[in-house]
Amino acid sequence: MSSNITLYTWPTPNGIKASITLEELGLPYKVEGIDISSNRQKEEWFLKINPNGRIPAILDGSQRVFESGAVMQYLVEKYDTDRKISYAPGTPEHVEQTSWLMFQMGGLGPMQGQANHFRLFAGVRSDYGIKRYTDETKRLFSVLESRLKDSPYLAGSKYTIADIANFSWVRAAPITIEIDLSEFPSLNKWVDNIEQRAAVQKGVDVPQTGRTQEQKAELFRNLRAKVDALDNSDKH
């Protein structure tokens, strides 16, 4: 299948949602690495692609698409004619697919993102912030657990972009905010199964940074230790 796609991304939970989708569809694409630690995503040239200054975004020819969920929906609507990772619009399964995609975008991503901020990046330690957002992330994991007890995938019997979106965040939790997925056995099994997919193994490492999983884990250990050494703002 021909395409003229450039993916602007970094291997974050949101970033890999787009790269996994592209890999699953077998689409050729170019990669422009946007190291978010350098604030490249705030440069004027990139704001013309995504006015919000966030990754991922794509250009498909002259068509820009920004926000990870919109990128995923655009790609399957235009290119997934065989419905490999999506359901046809108008079907009950498509409604379910959209619902779980929005669950990730409106719930899991923002809440786990805040847990990441308070546990890894905040300039002042806040026990309240850490507990508030980690507990909410676990609650959302329990919602996924409940669904996956009854269904092999979130939208139904088939793996879709709804699974990709939620998987990309859930898989990160053990090494970022130390959530033990064994507390959620159905969710844990679902993560393990998705991890085995060849397209996923390629997509989680786009662009390649050269860091091993252990090096990533060490980075997050150091970030947590730095936050732990800070004064607790809750005491002030």
| Residues 84, 199: Cα–Cα separation, whole Å | 12
**What per-residue confidence (pLDDT) applies to 2?**
63
Read off the pLDDT of residues 41-51 as tens digits, 9 standing for 90 and up.
999 999 999 99
Q: For residues 123 and 168, state if they share a domain.
A: yes
**Which is nearest to 111 in space by CA: 216, 234, 13?**
13
Mean pLDDT of 152-158: 98
Which of these three, 79, 109, 126, is where a domain ends?
79
Share of the chain above pLDDT 70, in %: 97
Domain at 192, CATH number: 1.20.1050.10
Q: For residues 66 and 99, state if they share a domain.
A: no
Read off the pLDDT of residues 92-101 as tens digits, 9 standing for 90 and up.
999 999 999 9
Beta-carbon contacts of residue 76 (< 8 Å; ≥ 6 apart)? 21, 25, 85, 86, 161
Give 231 or 227, the one with higher predicted confidence: 227
Beta-carbon contacts of residue 135 (< 8 Å; ≥ 6 apart)? none
Q: For residues 46 and 140, state if they share a domain.
A: no
Is residue 228 a part of any domain in this protein?
no
Q: Which residue intervals of the chain are DSSP H helices?
A: 13-25, 44-47, 68-79, 92-103, 109-116, 127-150, 161-170, 173-176, 185-195, 198-203, 213-228
| Residues 213, 77: Cα–Cα separation, whole Å | 33
Burial zone of 224 (CB within 10 Å; 0-12 exposed, 13-18 middle, 19+ buried): middle
Number of domains in the chain: 2
Read off the pLDDT of residues 175-196 as tens digits, 9 standing for 90 and up.
999 999 999 999 999 999 999 9
| Residues 235, 140: Cα–Cα separation, whole Å | 28
Confidence of residue 236 (pLDDT cuts 50, 70, 90): very low
Is residue 234's pLDDT more than 70? no
Angle (CA) 53-55-57 rounded to 5° is 95
The answer to whether the beta carbons of residues 73 and 23 sit under 8 Å apart is no
Is residue 23 a part of any domain in this protein?
yes
Mean pLDDT of 190-203: 98
Domain carrying residue 15 = 5-79
Q: Coil, strand, or helix at residue 230?
A: coil
**What per-residue confidence (pLDDT) applies to 187?**
98
Tell me the CA distances in angstroms from 183 to 67, 139, 161, one per residue in order.
Answer: 31, 12, 24
Burial zone of 32 (CB within 10 Å; 0-12 exposed, 13-18 middle, 19+ buried): middle
**What per-residue confidence (pLDDT) applies to 231?**
81
Read off the pLDDT of residues 12-67 as tens digits, 9 standing for 90 and up.
999 999 999 999 999 999 999 999 999 999 999 999 999 999 999 999 999 999 99
Is residue 225 a part of any domain in this protein?
no
Share of the chain above pLDDT 90, in %: 93
Q: For residues 149 and 50, state if they share a domain.
A: no
| Residues 176, 224: Cα–Cα separation, whole Å | 8
Is residue 229's pLDDT more than 80? yes
Plot region of 43 (φ>0 → left; ψ -120 to 50 → alpha; else → beta): beta
CB atoms within 10 A of CB 229: 8
Confidence of residue 213 (pLDDT cuts 50, 70, 90): confident
Is residue 220's pLDDT more than 90? yes
Q: For residues 65 and 112, state if they share a domain.
A: no
Which of these three, 79, 102, 128, is where a domain ends?
79
Residue that the structure tokens 């139904």 belong to:
156
For the chain, the residue count is: 236
